[in-house]
Structure 1
Amino acid sequence: MNDQNDGSMSMTRRALLGAFAATTLVAAPTYSKAAGFLRGGGDVRRIRMYSGRTGERIDTIYWVEGKYIKDAVKEVNAFMRDWRTNDVINIDIRTIDIMAASHNLMDASEPYMLLSGYRSPKTNAMLRSRSRGVAKNSLHMKGQAADLRLSSRSVSQMARAAAACRAGGVGRYSGSNFVHMDCGPVRTWGR
């Protein structure tokens, strides 16, 4: 970042995060307020995840007072990459918003475990050859879906929170202990 003083006020991402560190993020909204939260009912949006596959962690504020933080969104894109091929694409911001809103609705303090974010066509084809549960035209290949787990919440609790957002698809995979969240058509499936 350019540190020149051009007379305008500039703030680094690190300074911005520091400024918000001592503040309360957003009171967890009730399920009935989920749609309002996605439309801007919160001043700050934060996403916390870790990957059991890569050992990486992310805890970032990616939206403040109506504006997405470009560098933070880029970090999320890199984190949610196809870890098998290392391919990175832009994750649909609506999916990130659904994940963040659902996390707030559950009032969970632990980060999500990301099982699958972006999937390259090659990875999707390989997974599809091993499982009937992988869609041929999966939204994962468009950066519009995530498979997530929380040890402190059940699949049912996670799915209810995601469905309360009424912003995309929610799949329950109780046998594998994860929830699929996407920004596609509003729908639910699984048990």
Structure 2
Amino acid sequence: MESQDNSNLSRRGLLGAFAGIAMVSAAPVYSKTFGYVKGAGNIRRVRLRSSRTGESVDTIYWIDGQYIKPAMKEINYFMRDWRENSVAKMDPNLIDVIAATHFRLDTDEPFTLLSGYRTSRTNNMLRSRGSGVAKKSYHLKAQASDVRLKSRSVSSIARAAVAGRGGGVGKYHRSGFVHVDCGPIRTWG
């Protein structure tokens, strides 16, 4: 019975998603002034690509107050520790922060994901190579990501992330990326 309810939600939700995308596309610019962390409206979408694996994900993952399980599973796999091919359940709040940040930047270019979930072995290896990798990183908890956009500066991405007040935001100008997480609100860099 539960799977039938989920499939009905998915079918109904996907039809609504297509209608919602058209409405969001036609919405005036001032619609982006909503005070939200979660994303815009009744539909949430995430667009990411990985230059390391060549993979990408462009999916609607939330409709009318519900996370879509197959979409979240796809996101979890995409954001895996690719060095060890280890998948973790990403915190949905992180995906919301990423989607809301992207929405504020008003671009169709997907975020390039540099790092999502990390195993402790990967995190330790990265720590041994240089500074800037926290021993108790939110990446270990599947609550952080490092992203960039070719079309936007580190500062503009960070401003968009900070505006959502969804967690930590770190600027890494030299490496050209922004760290976003769903931990306590704080900034650095």
Q: Please, what TM-score do these two structures have when normalized by structure 1?
A: 0.87
Q: Is the 8 A contact 2:45 2:60 kept in 1?
A: yes
- State the partner residue of 1:163: 162
- State the partner residue of 1:24: 22
- State the partner residue of 1:143: 142
Shift of 1:12: 7.8
1:1-191 paired onto structure 2 within 5 Å: 10-11=7-8, 13=10, 16-17=13-14, 20-21=17-18, 23-24=21-22, 26=24, 27=27, 29-30=31-32, 33=34, 36-38=35-37, 42-190=41-189
Shift of 1:11: 3.6
Shift of 1:40: 6.7
State the Cα deviation string for residues 65-103 of structure 1 (Å, max 9, x = none). Answer: 111101101110000000000000111111100000000
Specify the SS of the correspondent of 1:38: coil
Q: Which amino acid aligns with 1:184?
A: G
Q: Is the 8 A contact 1:47 1:59 kept in 2?
A: yes
How far apart, CA to CA, are the structure 1 residues paired with 2:23 and 2:142? 26
Shift of 1:17: 3.8
Count, aligned residues: 183
Q: Is the 8 A contact 2:127 2:133 kept in 1?
A: yes
Which stretch has the larger CA shift, 18-27 or 154-163? 18-27
Unaligned runs of 5+ in 2: none
Unaligned runs of 5+ in 1: none
Shift of 1:131: 1.1
Shift of 1:14: 7.3
Q: RMSD of the TM alignment (CA)? A: 2.4
Instruction: Percent identity, please.
Output: 55
